[in-house]
């Protein structure tokens, strides 16, 4: 009886502790967001989106930065999504018992925890120098693809694992081959979870700064990239650059750019959440 009461009190105490922590986090985030929006929202207008960078804060825009981010987003998606999903299918459905698969598995789990700047150094060595791609969009998106591959692979494997053996067995019993079962049953059943994982991974890529700086992405790019071999900048680098300038006008520009980057990432996360909720509804 006494013990039970003590446990109940502990239970309550922990609950309130958790709620307090959560609110503290949200509060800090709210203060930050309020500050940013307060500073930056009035700076957002058509010119800001379509102007090239400039040394005068009032004239400077983010055209090269957001087009660069879109380029990086698209190229990284093209490289990382098929490769990541294919690797996950191999590891989860085919290569289960080989020593090679085991080795890959250990590496992938570890890679997910490597700091992003290390990927930058790897990208600098392999893509920029060895392959001679320079500080181009291609080098940048290859590097970011490496960075998010482990995330996509892990998320996809979890999604594939969630398709129960009994439904796979039913597919085999109807005369389906292994690949037919994967293509017609397993992938459609896990697609929404895979998409969610992929979107979250891409959202991460879009926010990365350090590895791109390491491979030589520039803060000042006076033209919009036309091919994947062009030099580029991205939103986070532009923001980083503006924040480090002394003029107050650039701080305001940075705040405005942060709002736009945040909006982009929020929309992506929103889509991921929406897909998840819709998939849940469908399966119940």
- Return residues touching other proteins (CB under 8 A): 163-164, 166-167, 169-177, 180, 184-185, 188-189, 282-284
Cβ nearer to other proteins, comparing 185 with 259: 185
Cβ nearer to other proteins, comparing 121 with 279: 279
Least spacing, CB of residue 91 vs other proteins, in Å: 19
SS3 153: helix
> For residue 82, how far is the Cα from the chain centroid?
15
3-state percent helix, strand, coil for the chain, nearest multiple of 5 = 75, 0, 20
Least spacing, CB of residue 171 vs other proteins, in Å: 7
- How much is the CA Rg of the chain, to the nearest whole Å? 23
Least spacing, CB of residue 188 vs other proteins, in Å: 7
* Burial grade of 243 (CB within 10 A; 0-12, 13-18, 19 or more): middle
Least spacing, CB of residue 163 vs other proteins, in Å: 8
Are 232 and 225 in contact by the 8 Å Cβ rule? The answer is yes
Cβ nearer to other proteins, comparing 163 with 199: 163
Q: Which two tokens stand for residue 28?
A: 């800090």
Cβ nearer to other proteins, comparing 101 with 111: 101
> For residue 168, how far is the Cα from the chain centroid?
31
Cβ nearer to other proteins, comparing 38 with 177: 177
Least spacing, CB of residue 169 vs other proteins, in Å: 7
> For residue 273, how far is the Cα from the chain centroid?
14
The rounded distance, in Å, linking the Cα atoms of 37 and 51 is 21
């Amino acid at each position: 009886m006494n013990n039970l009461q003590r446990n109940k009190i502990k239970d309550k105490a922990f609950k309130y502790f958790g709620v307090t922590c959560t609110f503290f986090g949200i509060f800090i985030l709210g203060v930050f967001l309020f500050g940013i929006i307060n500073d930056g929202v009035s700076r957002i207008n058509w010119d800001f989106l379509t102007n090239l960078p400039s040394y005068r804060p009032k004239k400077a825009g983010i055209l090269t930065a957001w087009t660069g981010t879109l380029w990086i987003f698209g190229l990284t998606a093209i490289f990382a999504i098929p490769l990541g999903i294919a690797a996950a299918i191999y590891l989860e459905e085919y290569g289960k018992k080989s020593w090679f698969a085991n080795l890959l598995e250990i590496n992938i789990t570890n890679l997910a925890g490597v700091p992003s700047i290390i990927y930058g150094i790897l990208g600098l060595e392999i893509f920029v120098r060895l392959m001679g791609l320079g500080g181009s969009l291609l080098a940048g998106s290859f590097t970011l693809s490496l960075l998010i591959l482990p995330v996509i692979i892990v998320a996809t494997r979890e999604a594939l694992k969630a398709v129960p053996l009994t439904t796979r067995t039913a597919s085999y019993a109807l005369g389906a081959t292994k690949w037919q079962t994967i293509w017609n049953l397993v992938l459609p059943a896990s697609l929404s979870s895979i998409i969610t994982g992929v979107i979250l991974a891409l959202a991460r890529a879009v926010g990365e700064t350090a590895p791109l700086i390491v491979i030589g992405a520039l803060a000042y790019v006076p033209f919009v990239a036309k091919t994947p071999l062009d030099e580029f900048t991205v939103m986070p680098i532009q923001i980083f650059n503006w924040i480090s300038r002394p003029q107050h006008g650039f701080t305001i520009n940075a705040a405005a750019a942060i709002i736009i980057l945040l909006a982009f990432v929020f929309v992506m996360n929103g889509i991921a959440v929406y897909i998840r909720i819709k998939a849940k509804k469908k399966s119940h």
